[in-house]
Amino acid sequence: MKRAHVKDKFGMEHNFIVLRTLEDILEYQKMLDGETSQLVHKLITSDIPVNSWDHIRMSGEKGSLLHGSMCTAVVKGSNPLYELPGLISGKIKRFLDLLTDEETIFVNKNGGYCYYMPGYHEILSEEEYRAEPPNSAVIKANTTYINLENDPQLERHTIQYLSTKDKNFSYVLNLRDYDVHVLTKVFSDFRDNGGCVVYVYTTGIDVPQMYDYSEAIVAAGLKHVEFEFNAGENPEHKNLVQYLVERGVEVKVID
């Protein structure tokens, strides 16, 4: 499976996964199965009710799968998890049909696809495909605070609060894209640039996710966390705070 840098006839440049053979499609399906497993794990370990899953924002292929399964479930009156296998099998079947017609398939980072059209597309370069790590973390020099955000943009409240604390605050967007290992590296980089305080403005609904990033906080040796629970603090949050305190982290809960 290859990654191609492609220019269209309007001069716009794009990066695509390229599928040309049955082996490519099988490799892509394996990658898609991994994305699906991560998505399902996030959903079934979350306390977020099914009818609120559309509030969970995920980028990339996982985000597209979640959005597609939610839309299909609304139409059919079913559970989004029931719709995921059909979405995936339908996509793979379409790829196989295109392959039968000897088409070269381009897939973008969100899972959208088209086929190669000579005269419209110009392939500038190709290389072996390697999964890209998340790249929505911004670590600034001489920083003190880092904000963790599930959405692809910072909350206005966060910007207002942290601008009074640290003009060079760092942040992580699309937090759900990060596993504990990668997030630990982000926190270590933050620490090495002078960072010491993790600030989280959250509803606190997804408690398992909170334990994941708390594990990364401890692994990176960070010692200060500030939580601001915008829907109120509950007993599960207090247990999480105790979990961090027992591991040497000073926790402040902002009223």
Q: Which domain holds residue 167?
A: 137-253
Residue 172: exposure state from Cβ atoms within 10 A (0-12, 13-18, ≥19): buried
Task: Locate 89 and state its tokens.
Answer: 């099998």
Among the listed residues 1, 203, 10, the one whose alpha carbon sits nearest the alpha carbon of residue 104: 1
Task: Examine the domain organization and report whether 42 and 93 are in the same domain.
Answer: yes
Task: Give a yes or no: residue 131 inside a domain.
Answer: no
The total of other beta-carbon atoms located within 10 Å of residue 103's CB is 16
Residue 52 or 22, more confident: 22
Same domain, 37 and 17: yes
State mean pLDDT over 142-150. 96
CB 170 within 8 A of CB 145: yes
Mean pLDDT value of segment 66-93:
92
pLDDT at 57: 64
* Domain presence at residue 22: yes
155: in domain: yes
pLDDT at 42 over 80: no
What does the pLDDT look like over 152-176, one tens digit per residue? 789 999 999 999 999 999 999 988 8
On whether both 153 and 210 belong to a single domain, the answer is yes
In this structure, the strands spanning 2-8 and 197-202 are unpaired
Domain boundary among 80, 96, 126: 126
Average pLDDT score over the chain: 92
Residue 14 within any structural domain of the chain: yes
- The CATH number of the domain holding residue 219 is 3.40.50
Per the structure, how many domains does the chain have? 2
Among 159, 162, 187, CA closest to 172: 187
For the stretch 192-240, pLDDT in tens is 999 999 999 999 988 999 999 999 999 999 999 999 999 899 999 999 9
Cα 217 to Cα 90: distance, rounded to the nearest angstrom: 40
Looking at 97, 126, 155, the residue that finishes a domain is 126
CA distance 162 to 141: 16
The mean pLDDT of 122-147, rounded to a whole number, is: 90
Confidence of residue 30 (pLDDT cuts 50, 70, 90): confident
Average pLDDT value for residue range 11-21? 96
> CA 113, CA 25: separation in Å to the nearest integer?
13
Spell out the residues 6+ positions from residue 156 whose beta carbon is closer than 8 angstroms to its own.
none
The token pair that represents 113 in the structure block: 């696809």
The pLDDT value recorded for residue 48 is 80
> Both tokens of residue 114?
């088209």
% residues pLDDT > 90 (the chain): 75
Q: Specify whether 10 is located in the same domain as 73.
A: yes
Q: Do 113 and 9 belong together in one domain? A: yes
Q: Using pLDDT thresholds of 50, 70 and 90, give the confidence band for residue 244.
A: very high
Q: Which of 126, 156, 173 is the last residue of a domain?
A: 126
Query: Can you give the pLDDT at residue 44?
Result: 79
